[in-house]
Amino acid sequence: MLIAIDGPAASGKGTLGKRLADHLGFAHLDTGLLYRAVAAVLLNEGIPLSDREAAAQAAENLDVAHLDGPDLRGAAMGEAASVISAYQPVRDALLAFQRQFGSELPGAVLDGRDIGTVVCPNADVKLFITATPEERARRRHLELLRRGEDVAYTSILADIRRRDERDMTRATAPLKAAPDAITLDTTALDADGAFLAALAIVEKKRSKT
């Protein structure tokens, strides 16, 4: 079974994806980390994020064995990833790996922004996870504070709104729910509530197959 989870920044899709995968015994891939890792290569080498050719090359040569570095989780890297993820050559370079991962047995959960629409359009279950910008900013603010990053809530909210605009209006694989995706608004749900709601959707699908 293949589960595709899409949604805007800080919607909780990554946490939800990992929890679903752990519960079901499936493999999990946070595809956003791929783009963050590509952005990290550019930043570490002092290459401008506007250099599309360098970004594409970094994506083609990306070592996916190192996607758990704490440096990939910060707000700045998320912003950088949003920039380079708009480049079609970068997306093309990472597409094959994502699709191959989606074929893992007994199942896989992939979360990102174009999983149900582009990467895995034939996924068995498609979820679109969302929440208000204010709630997403609150969650991200708490997350960063726990990591010791002192970032103002207003700055995070502005960043999330900027990323939403960029992700939804880009010409390449814009952020949107697939026509057959089930939208889950987690604004009023905690992590447990979101997990139970998503699991119910998955189990309903599994019972029909």
Tell me: is residue 116 an annotated ligand-binding position: no
CA distances from 64 to 20, 33, 56 (A): 22, 9, 15
Tell me if 15 is assigned to a ligand binding site.
yes
**Residue 200 marked as a ligand binder:** no
Has 11 been labeled as part of a binding site?
yes
Residue spans of alpha helices (H) in the chain? 13-24, 32-44, 52-60, 75-84, 88-101, 133-146, 153-169, 191-207
Q: Does residue 10 have a known ligand-binding role?
A: yes
8 annotated ligand binder: yes
Nearest alpha-carbon partner for 186 in 60, 22, 19:
19
**Cα(42)–Cα(134) distance, integer angstroms:** 31
Taking residue 176's Cβ as centre, other Cβ atoms within 10 Å add up to: 15
Count of other CB atoms within 10 angstroms of residue 13: 28
Cβ atoms < 10 Å from Cβ of 78: 20
31 among annotated binding-site residues: no
Say whether 205 counts as a known binding-site residue: no
CA dihedral sign, ordered 46, 113, 9, 161 = positive
Cα 174–chain centre separation: 13
14 is in an annotated binding site: yes
- Alpha-carbon distance of 122 to 110, in angstroms, equals 13
Binding residues: 7-15
Binding residues for ATP: 7-15
